[in-house]
Amino acid sequence: MKLSERQKKFLRRMAHDLKPVVTVGDKGVTDTVIKELHGALEHHELIKIKVRAGDREVRNATITELAEKTSAMLISRVGNIAALYRARKKDPKIVLPKPG
Protein backbone atom coordinates (compact mmCIF):
# COMPACT_ATOMS: atom_id res chain seq x y z
CA MET A 1 0.00 0.00 0.00
CA LYS A 2 1.40 3.36 -1.03
CA LEU A 3 0.22 6.48 0.79
CA SER A 4 0.16 9.96 -0.68
CA GLU A 5 1.77 12.88 1.17
CA ARG A 6 -1.70 14.15 2.03
CA GLN A 7 -2.59 10.82 3.65
CA LYS A 8 0.73 10.67 5.54
CA LYS A 9 0.19 14.21 6.84
CA PHE A 10 -3.31 13.21 7.99
CA LEU A 11 -1.89 10.20 9.86
CA ARG A 12 0.96 12.26 11.39
CA ARG A 13 -1.63 14.66 12.82
CA MET A 14 -3.59 11.74 14.27
CA ALA A 15 -0.44 10.18 15.75
CA HIS A 16 0.78 13.40 17.39
CA ASP A 17 -0.99 12.88 20.73
CA LEU A 18 -0.56 9.09 20.89
CA LYS A 19 1.65 7.48 23.51
CA PRO A 20 3.93 4.55 22.58
CA VAL A 21 2.15 1.21 23.01
CA VAL A 22 5.16 -1.03 22.35
CA THR A 23 8.72 -0.55 23.58
CA VAL A 24 11.63 -2.38 22.00
CA GLY A 25 14.33 -2.97 24.60
CA ASP A 26 17.90 -4.20 24.65
CA LYS A 27 17.01 -7.59 23.14
CA GLY A 28 15.89 -5.89 19.93
CA VAL A 29 13.36 -7.40 17.55
CA THR A 30 12.06 -10.64 19.03
CA ASP A 31 9.11 -12.85 18.10
CA THR A 32 7.27 -11.49 21.15
CA VAL A 33 7.74 -7.90 20.01
CA ILE A 34 6.49 -8.77 16.51
CA LYS A 35 3.46 -10.55 17.96
CA GLU A 36 2.65 -7.53 20.17
CA LEU A 37 3.01 -5.18 17.21
CA HIS A 38 0.68 -7.29 15.05
CA GLY A 39 -1.94 -7.22 17.81
CA ALA A 40 -1.58 -3.49 18.45
CA LEU A 41 -1.78 -2.65 14.73
CA GLU A 42 -4.82 -4.86 14.25
CA HIS A 43 -6.56 -3.19 17.18
CA HIS A 44 -5.50 0.46 16.72
CA GLU A 45 -4.24 0.66 13.09
CA LEU A 46 -2.04 3.66 13.99
CA ILE A 47 0.45 3.24 16.84
CA LYS A 48 3.63 4.70 18.22
CA ILE A 49 6.57 2.54 19.23
CA LYS A 50 9.62 3.39 21.30
CA VAL A 51 13.01 1.90 20.44
CA ARG A 52 15.66 1.89 23.16
CA ALA A 53 18.89 1.74 21.23
CA GLY A 54 21.81 4.05 21.89
CA ASP A 55 23.11 4.10 18.34
CA ARG A 56 21.10 6.01 15.71
CA GLU A 57 21.90 3.52 12.93
CA VAL A 58 20.78 0.56 15.06
CA ARG A 59 17.59 2.41 16.02
CA ASN A 60 16.78 3.26 12.39
CA ALA A 61 17.48 -0.31 11.26
CA THR A 62 15.25 -1.65 14.05
CA ILE A 63 12.35 0.65 13.10
CA THR A 64 12.69 -0.33 9.43
CA GLU A 65 12.78 -4.02 10.33
CA LEU A 66 9.68 -3.71 12.52
CA ALA A 67 7.76 -1.96 9.74
CA GLU A 68 8.76 -4.62 7.21
CA LYS A 69 7.99 -7.60 9.46
CA THR A 70 4.53 -6.24 10.33
CA SER A 71 3.69 -4.98 6.81
CA ALA A 72 3.18 -1.53 8.30
CA MET A 73 3.96 1.89 6.86
CA LEU A 74 6.39 4.15 8.68
CA ILE A 75 4.51 7.43 9.08
CA SER A 76 6.95 9.44 11.16
CA ARG A 77 10.11 9.07 13.21
CA VAL A 78 11.33 11.54 15.82
CA GLY A 79 14.26 10.44 17.94
CA ASN A 80 13.51 7.02 19.36
CA ILE A 81 9.74 7.21 18.71
CA ALA A 82 8.16 6.03 15.45
CA ALA A 83 4.55 5.98 14.25
CA LEU A 84 3.41 2.95 12.24
CA TYR A 85 0.18 2.48 10.28
CA ARG A 86 -1.48 -0.63 8.92
CA ALA A 87 -5.16 -0.70 7.97
CA ARG A 88 -7.23 -3.47 9.46
CA LYS A 89 -7.99 -6.35 7.16
CA LYS A 90 -11.61 -6.30 8.27
CA ASP A 91 -13.60 -3.17 9.09
CA PRO A 92 -10.90 -0.44 9.15
CA LYS A 93 -11.53 2.37 11.67
CA ILE A 94 -9.35 5.07 10.12
CA VAL A 95 -10.73 6.57 6.93
CA LEU A 96 -7.92 8.13 4.91
CA PRO A 97 -8.53 11.22 2.77
CA LYS A 98 -8.45 10.76 -0.98
CA PRO A 99 -4.94 11.00 -2.42
CA GLY A 100 -4.05 14.17 -4.22
Sheet holding 46-51, edge to edge: 20-24, 46-51, 81-85, 73-78
Q: For residue range 11-23, what is the model confidence (pLDDT) as tens digits?
A: 999 999 999 999 9
81: pLDDT confidence band, cut at 50, 70 and 90?
Answer: very high
CATH of the domain at 12: 3.30.110.60
Burial category of 77 from C-beta neighbours within 10 Å (exposed 0-12, middle 13-18, buried 19 and up): middle
In the three-class reduction of DSSP (H, G, I as helix; E, B as strand; rest coil), residue 39 is classed as helix
Q: Is residue 90 part of a domain?
A: no
Residue 100 has pLDDT above 90, yes or no: no
In the three-class reduction of DSSP (H, G, I as helix; E, B as strand; rest coil), residue 16 is classed as coil
pTM of the model: 0.93
* Average pLDDT for the chain: 93
Q: For residue range 24-59, what is the model confidence (pLDDT) as tens digits?
A: 988 889 999 999 999 999 999 999 999 998 789 999
Q: Is residue 80 part of a domain?
A: yes
Task: Supply the range of the domain harboring residue 29.
Answer: 5-85
Q: Is residue 23 part of a domain?
A: yes
Q: Is residue 78 part of a domain?
A: yes
Position 55 scores a pLDDT of 86
Counting the structural domains of the chain, the total is 1
